[in-house]
Amino acid sequence: MPAVLFLAISSQDLRTRFILVVLFFSAAWSVAFHWNAMHPVGATALSSVVALFAMICIQAAFVSLLSSNTVKGALFSIPAIWGMLGIALFDWLMMHGPLAMPGTMLGLSVSDSVLADMWVPIAGSFSLTLVVLTVNGILVASVLKRRIHVASVVLGILLVGIPWLGASEPLGTSSARLNITAIQPGIPPSEWAEVSDSSKTIRLGALLTGAYEEFPHSGVFVFPETSLPIADSTLLRQSVLKWASKFNASVIAGGIESDDSGAFFNVVVGADGSPNSFLYRKRRLVPFVEAVPFGEYLPFSDRFRLDSGGVTSYGEGSILTPYDLGGTLVGTLICFESFFPSDARILSRNGADLIVVPTQDGWWNSQTARAQHVAYTRLLALAAGIPVVQAAVDGETAIFSAQGTVAAKSHGNNLEYVHAEIPLAKVETMYLQLGDSPSNVILICLLLIYLIAYSSSKNRRN
């Protein structure tokens, strides 16, 4: 709990604060993200751990520097309150910065809780960080001030009251429902990663046949990330079109596209029973896995690239739009991209009825990583107000309603066909209308208050 940390650093000097913050987050992140060290590729595991520790040090610098400011009056006289602002600023950078890794945000520690159900539809996942910090700030202020301050009472009431005022409402009265099946192959990641293996197409055809035999009324079948072997866009589309025509249903599958220049793209290909098809290129690449940040300037960056069947880096896509499959507008996000509710909001506002998230979580050899990812994906449905489907290679696969409730979910890491019939009526959320603006405004106001307080305290010292 961050309150314990801020009580500990409230009377320490700058160096001690930095050390205590590093120790606290090193311990906390070791519990939450230990699976980063379990990647079967040693270089990837090492680079992930080093990157996490570097992020901890940056966060510790933010917290230590901001908590060094003291002013007179009310809650702002408590250095720890300003330190919490450091965490909020760091989390904002993890969501919006050039090295965005939202999975480390403090607020996502409550992604599978009632707090998420209340706040994500209002202000997105970053609001969870602000809510968690507010609760901890109230605790710190109550202990250090030895009384419950009026501001703490007001903040506590707002934390509970605002979600009720901004309650989500159904959009329209659509009675349309969709039968959808997510195919979880249950194949080990090392075998699944053989993206150059052309026999994967035969295996996927057999999996689709099995899914169709079990759920013949399913209108959409979804495969995980990198299901198809490497091919150009024409061959990828032809493979999926063949299956869609055979089973008279929409088929969506991950794959790797190679273009004429020799570049590779992590893609999702979809087709319905007609000649209609689409190909989506992944826009947000996983740092140190699919791309090394600033790798073009680092001569040793190749050592940290993950080799998947001869593919060590990917190009970035640029288009985010829903695609029409059999009359259903489908938005696609690939794996890591499901950490960004802003992308789900764009898809929903552009008319998407459904979002599919093909993923490959098995690389990390940890059920913790799988559980965290599916919990984060659920937030997409809460924020954007439309159903979301996550199809994983060996767990966790899930189908969520527009309210973020679980319509169906896999029960292990083996072969499963996860099926549900879900309503396509959208839910009007405040986040759908305003996006991250409320959270951003709050953060900007806090930064302005800090700068004013810092300037005033500096003038007094002079």
Encode pLDDT of 275-288 as tens digits: 889 999 999 988 77
Give me the residues of the chain with pLDDT under 70, please. 1, 41, 43, 69-79, 97-98, 145-175, 292-312, 363-364, 457-462
Q: Are 85 and 450 in contact (CB under 8 A)?
A: yes
Nearest of 110, 112, 107, 111 to residue 127 by alpha carbon:
107
Helices (H), 74-125: 79-96, 114-123
Residue type, 331: G
Separation between Cα atoms, residue 91 and residue 94, nearest integer Å: 5
pLDDT, residue 155, reads 67
Name the DSSP letter for residue 177: E
Q: Please write the tens of the pLDDT for every residue from 154-198.
A: 666 666 666 655 555 555 545 689 999 999 999 887 777 777 777
């009675």: which residue's tokens?
Answer: 175
Q: In the prediction, which pLDDT does 125 show?
A: 92
In 3D space, the residue among 372, 386, 385 whose CA is nearest the CA of residue 336 turns out to be: 372
- What domains does the chain contain, in order, with CATH numbers? 2-168+435-461 (no CATH), 170-428 (3.60.110.10)
The pLDDT, as a whole number, for residue 440 is 93
Pick the closest to residue 429 from 447, 409, 403 (CA basis). 403
**Residues 364, 388: contact at Cβ < 8 Å?**
no
